[in-house]
Structure 1
Amino acid sequence: MTLRISPAGPGSESQPVAGQPVRPPRSLVLHADDLGFNPAVNRGIIDSFAQGLLTSTSVLANGPAVPHALALWNELELRRRHRLLPSDGYRRLLRDPWLPFDLGVHLNLTQGRPLTDGYPEELLDRQGRFPGVFPLFWRSLARPRRSIATAVEAELQAQVELLLDHGVALGHLNGHQYIECLPLVAEIVPRLANRYSLRNVRVAWEPGLTRQLLAEGRALGWGLAQVKRLFAFRWRLQASREGLLFPRCYFGTAHAGGITLPVVDRFLQSAAG
């Protein structure tokens, strides 16, 4: 969804000043992944729509709490349509358009069990579960057999179709733990986007990341984030070539669980640069 809340706040539409370029209006998406992970995560995300300013989320289709998540989502949408959310007043102050909240699919190859039978054993752990992001990363960097790529695409397709079969109106695609940036998955996502008319994707290429992390004294986090940033940049180029849609700026690759108001403020300052 093209969203939503102007970072400058209400009343920010100033008149043009002679000799200065006029900036186009900007929008802000506030997003949370992992809907369906467990009931506590589900409630936290839904409460962030109802009580806060969240505008977007994505469903972990193989998550154990997907039925619970979709029931809460349907209730949230009913309350939104009848303007019964506690956050309605704040959203009006910020001139957030009265639009449906955005729900996407959170493609997953790193946690839980696959939805499809016959998923490649080399991409599973000994218990038959997805192996985690680092094993997937290293195994996927090797040139996979065509049968592996075919099986991965079938699994991701099954995750999309599970939600469609539940009547979910999907608005975007993204990947759990940024798997959409891995070359193997990056080749598949555009085909899914075209097949299911889901042209909005996430590109987790983050401006100002080096300055942000070094200012926080997080040298190790900076190093890991640079690896993510490299693969995200390659995915950005591919998504552009494929004509997919994504926001100009993205923030949060290195701040999971630690996005505070001061961090958001620094994010917005970087986006304005």
Structure 2
Amino acid sequence: MSTDSQPAEHRYRRIVLCADDFGMNPAVNAGILSLAGRDRLSATSLLVDAPAAGRDLPALLASGLQLGLHLNLTESFGQPGLCLPLGRLIRMAWLGRLPEDAVRAAVRRQLALFMDITGRAPDYVDGHQHVHQLPRIRDALLDALPEPRDGQPWVRDVGRPRMAGLPPRLRFKAAVIAGLGAAGLRRRARARGHALNPGFLGVYDFQGGAPAYEGWLRRWLASCHDGDVLMCHPALGVDDADVLSAQRQAEHEVLAGALMTRLLAEHHLTISPLLSRP
């Protein structure tokens, strides 16, 4: 039965549940594929230079997830070209000191590698540590993307965070992320015909284990709107080299569990790809 016949308060809203960092390590890949098999994700963002980027490829392509480029200019995996600590990258971007040729080369190389790995263009783009929105980087990225059709590939907009019920420290973090260049990216992406998510959730301090993540998830799902993106960073198994390994496992535990089922039903939410709309 169509949801259009239901009262407005009972219509299901679609949420894009997107797992970042596919390829980071085998545990991250396993966590993402585990959640995909439970229909607990709709998208995952690929770190094309990371050690496990080409691992588990048949399972990834068969998962039904939208696949995005997780543009990385801050974390070194031994890749060639531009790679800087986040703080320095932000300063140079806003001072107009990022070398344009190096930025464009890095973007083109990662897009080409994404297509080599997956055999297709990305369904969407975002950025590791949200670098895709920074000045000069956003223009290089949009210039390199395929011509959009029906709004696709879509672009992650982190500039409209849903912050209801969050403590001041997380409101501040979300506002800082949004202020790094989201408005400029939004204007440029819209002008070119790319779709963007109307709201953004998932910003927290990566601490507190499963109990803390359950609390944040309750708040995020209670405040999301139709088409919003909720980012997550799950893993299944330990990786001693990953400083976020324990919290990634906590995220997987919560997202795979019964609480998530109850919250989706309680808030009339369905996990879905981003709607095709500019």
> Under a length normalisation based on structure 1, what TM-score does the superposition of the two structures give?
0.69
Aligned pair 1:59/2:38, yes or no? no
Per-residue deviation at 1:269? 3.0
Matched, 1:112 2:76: yes
Q: Contact 2:162/2:200 (CA < 8 Å) preserved in 1?
A: no
Partner of 1:248: 198
Determine the structure 1 residue equivalent to 2:160.
206
2:114 aligned with 1:150? no
The residue type equivalent to 2:111 in the other structure is: V
What is the rounded CA distance, in whole Å, between the counterparts of 1:172 and 1:201 in structure 2? 6
Tell me, yes or no, if the aligned pair for 1:115 and 1:155 is still in contact at 8 Å: no
Normalised by the length of structure 2, the TM-score is 0.67
Shift of 1:113: 4.1
Change in CA separation of 1:212 and 1:183 when aligned onto 2, cut-off 3 Å = farther
Distance 2:27 2:4 in 1: 42
- Bigger strand fraction: 2
Structure showing greater radius of gyration is: 1
| Unaligned 5+ runs, structure 2 | 227-278
For residues 106 and 156 of structure 1, the distance between their equivalents in structure 2, rounded to whole angstroms, comes to 11
Pick closer, same or farther for the CA change 1:25–1:154 going to 2, 3 Å. Answer: same
- Unaligned regions of 5+ residues in structure 1, if any? 1-10, 81-99, 124-129
Q: Distance in 1 between matches of 2:206 and 2:119?
A: 26
Q: Contact 2:18 / 2:43 at 8 angstroms: preserved in 1? A: yes
- Check 1:179–1:40 CA distance in 2 against 1; reply closer, same or farther (3 A cut): same
CA drift of 1:267 comes to 2.1
The residue identity in structure 2 corresponding to 1:13 is T
> For 1:34 and 1:208, how far apart are their aligned partners in 2?
22
**Distance in 2 separating the partners of 1:101 and 1:54:** 7
Structure 2 equivalent of residue 85 of structure 1: none
C-alpha RMSD of the superposition: 3.1
The one-character-per-residue Cα deviations of 1:98-149 (angstroms, maximum 9, x if unpaired) are xx32111111001014644xx3xxx5xxxxxx3322221112222126xx11
Paired positions, count: 219
Per-residue deviation, residues 233-262 of structure 1 (Å, max 9, x unmatched): 332233222321112122113355778344
Q: Which residue does the alignment assign to 2:218?
A: 265
Structure 2 counterparts to residues 1-273 of structure 1, below 5 A:
13=3, 15=5, 26-74=13-61, 77=62, 100-113=64-77, 115-116=79-80, 119=81, 130-144=83-97, 148-169=99-120, 170-194=122-146, 199-209=153-163, 211-214=164-167, 218-219=168-169, 221-230=170-179, 231-254=181-204, 256=206, 260-272=213-225
